[in-house]
Amino acid sequence: MTPAETALILARAQFAFTVSFHFIFPSFSIGLASYLAVLEGLWLKTGKQVYIDLFRYWVRIFAIVFAMGVVSGIVMSYQFGTNWAVFSDKAGPIIGPLMAYEVLTAFFLEAGFLGVMLFGMKKVGPRLHFGATLMVAIGTFISAFWILSVNSWMQTPTGWAVNAVGQFVPKDGWLPIIFNPSFPFRLVHTVIAAYLTTAFIVGGVGAWHLLKGNKTPAVKKSFSMAMWMAAIVAPIQIFAGDMHGLNTLEHQPVKIMAMEGHFQSHPDGAPLILFGLPDQDAQTVRYALEIPKLSSLILKHDLNAPLKGLDTVKRADQPPVAIVFWTFRIMVGIGFAMLGLGLWSLLARARGKLYDWSWLHRAGILMGPSGTVAVLAGWATTEVGRQPWVITGLLRTSDASSAIATPGVATSLAAFVIVYFAAFSAGTWYILKLMAVPPHEDEPDNVAGPIRTSGTTPAMEGQMAEKA
C-alpha cells in the first residue's frame, strides 16, 4: 500500500468516525424536539399536569443532546477543507449554497427560539412558549431536509453541468438538484428513523423505571406513548424502507447488488440471501442461507424477474460488499424487532398489563438504544454502498481527497478520537444520570435562565434593594 493510499484510508476513517458520532445526536434531537412539542401541545389542550412534567423532564436532556449535535457538526465541516479539498473545490458551487440554506432557514430558526424554549417558561405566556417549542421542532426538520438533499444529490446527482474549471454547477436551476431522484425517499426514511430512535429511548427509560417499581403517572404515560409509536410507526417505516429500496434499485443498482450479496446475475429469479459470509476476492457468499427467488419477488414483485449481479460490474467499481451486506441486515433486523415490540405492547395493553408485564419492560430496555444502532447501520449501508464514488458516477473518493501526508492525518484522527471520547462520554454520562431519575409529579423547571445581567448578581440586587 502506497503512502497516498494509507493517507486516503485514514482520511476516510476520520470522516466516518466523526460523522457517526455526529449522526447519533441529530437523530435523537429531531425526534425529541417533536416529542416536546407534542407534550406541550397536549398540556395546553388538556391542562393535565403529566404532560408538562414530561416536558420539563425531557427538555433538560434535549438541551444537552442539541449542544453535542451542534459541536460535533461544526468539527465535521472543517474536514472538507483539510482532508477533502478537491471535493470542496469541485462540488462547492452546489454543496455550498445548499449548506448555506440549511444555516439560514434551519439553524437560525432553532437558535433563535431555543433560548425561549429552554429558559422562557416563566417569562413568556404559555402559547408563545409553545410557539417557540414548535419553531425548534420545525427547525430540526428543515435542517434534515437540507442535509439529506445534499447527501441525496451525492448519491443520485441530477441537474448539474461542468464549468470551464471542472466544477459541478447548476444546469437548469436548483429544483432538479434539491429534489433529486432519491431525496424524497431518503428524507421520509431518515426522519421516521429519528422519530423511532427517540420513541425507543423514551420507552427504554420508561421501561427501566417501571421495572424498578416507579409507576408515577409520568413514567406510565411516557412508556405508553413510546409503545404507541412503536406499534404505529414501525410498520410505516418498514413500508418506507421498501419504497426506498425500490428507488435504490432503479438509481443505484450496484448498491442493491451489494446489499443483497448478489455476486452472480440471476436471469430466472434471484434468491434472498438471509445470512452468509461475503468473500469479495472469490466473488461469492460462503455458507449462504437463502430462500429461492424471494429477492426477485421483493425487488421486482415477480418470482422469475431477472436481477443483475456484481459480475456485471468492474471489480474497481464494486463497493465493500461485506460491510454493506451486514449493516443492511442489522438495520432490517432491528426494524422488525421494533415492530415485534410494538405488537407485544398492543397485546399487553389489551390484557391490561402494559405497566405490569416485566418481560415487556426488559425488552423495552434492551430495545432502548436500538434506534441509534439502526440509524448508524443504515447510514453505513448508504455511504459504503456508494463507494468507490463520493459523487456517484462523477467523482471517485480517491480523486476527492487533499494532498495530505500520512502522519498529519493520522495525528488528527488520533486527536479526534481522544477528544471525542473524552467530551462526548462526559455528556453521555450526564444524560444517563438524568435518565436514571424518574419523572415525577410537579417536575421542577430546572432549566432556569441566566440570572446575572448587566454586571449585577442576586446578592448585589439585594444590597441595592436594602439601600433603596
β-strand partners of 456: 453
What average pLDDT is seen over the chain? 89
In a domain, residue 5? The reply is: no
Q: CB-based burial of residue 466 (10 Å sphere; 0-12 exposed, 13-18 middle, 19+ buried)?
A: exposed
pLDDT (mean) for 24-45:
92
326 in the same domain as 432? no
Question: Which of 96-110, 216-230, 232-246 is predicted with the least confidence, judged by mean pLDDT?
Answer: 96-110
pLDDT of residue 125: 85
Tell me the percentage of the chain whose pLDDT exceeds 70.
95
pLDDT of residue 313: 93
**C-beta separation of 315 from 280 below 8 A:** no
191 in the same domain as 112? no
In a domain, residue 450? The reply is: no
The band of 447, judged by pLDDT with boundaries at 50, 70 and 90, is low
231 in the same domain as 337? yes
**C-beta separation of 292 from 271 below 8 A:** yes
**What's the DSSP call for residue 452?**
-
pLDDT of residue 193: 95
Question: Which of 78-82, 295-299, 447-451 is predicted with the least confidence, judged by mean pLDDT?
Answer: 447-451
**C-beta separation of 375 from 191 below 8 A:** no
pLDDT of residue 463: 52
Enclosing domain of residue 149: 12-180+404-444
pLDDT of residue 96: 92
pLDDT surpasses 60 at 452: no
The single residue listed with the C-alpha cell 437540507 is 146
pLDDT digits (tens, 9 = 90+) for 120-177: 888 888 899 999 999 999 999 999 999 999 999 999 999 999 999 999 999 988 999 9
pLDDT digits (tens, 9 = 90+) for 378-429: 999 999 999 999 999 999 999 998 888 888 889 988 988 888 888 788 888 9
pLDDT of residue 455: 47
In a domain, residue 67? The reply is: yes
Buried b (16+ CB within 10 A) or exposed e, 43-73: beeeeeebbbbbbbbbbbbbbbbbebbbbbb
In a domain, residue 144? The reply is: yes
pLDDT of residue 70: 82
129 in the same domain as 235? no
In a domain, residue 19? The reply is: yes
Look at residue 213 and give its three-state secondary structure: coil
152 in the same domain as 207? no
pLDDT surpasses 80 at 329: yes
Angle between helix 253-260 and 217-251 (nearest 10): 120
**C-beta separation of 281 from 310 below 8 A:** no
> Does 194 or 124 have the greater pLDDT score?
194
In a domain, residue 399? The reply is: no
Degrees, nearest 5: CA angle 453-458-464: 95
> Does 285 or 73 have the greater pLDDT score?
285
β-strand partners of 133: none
Angle between helix 3-46 and 126-155 (nearest 10): 150
Q: From residue 137, give the alpha-carbon distance in Å to each of 32, 133, 243, 349.
A: 8, 6, 26, 30
pLDDT surpasses 80 at 346: yes
229 in the same domain as 176? no
360 in the same domain as 268? yes
Q: How many domains does the chain have?
A: 2
The band of 77, judged by pLDDT with boundaries at 50, 70 and 90, is confident
The single residue listed with the C-alpha cell 410537579 is 442
In a domain, residue 385? The reply is: no
Q: Whole-prediction pTM value?
A: 0.89
325 in the same domain as 243? yes
**C-beta separation of 55 from 403 below 8 A:** no
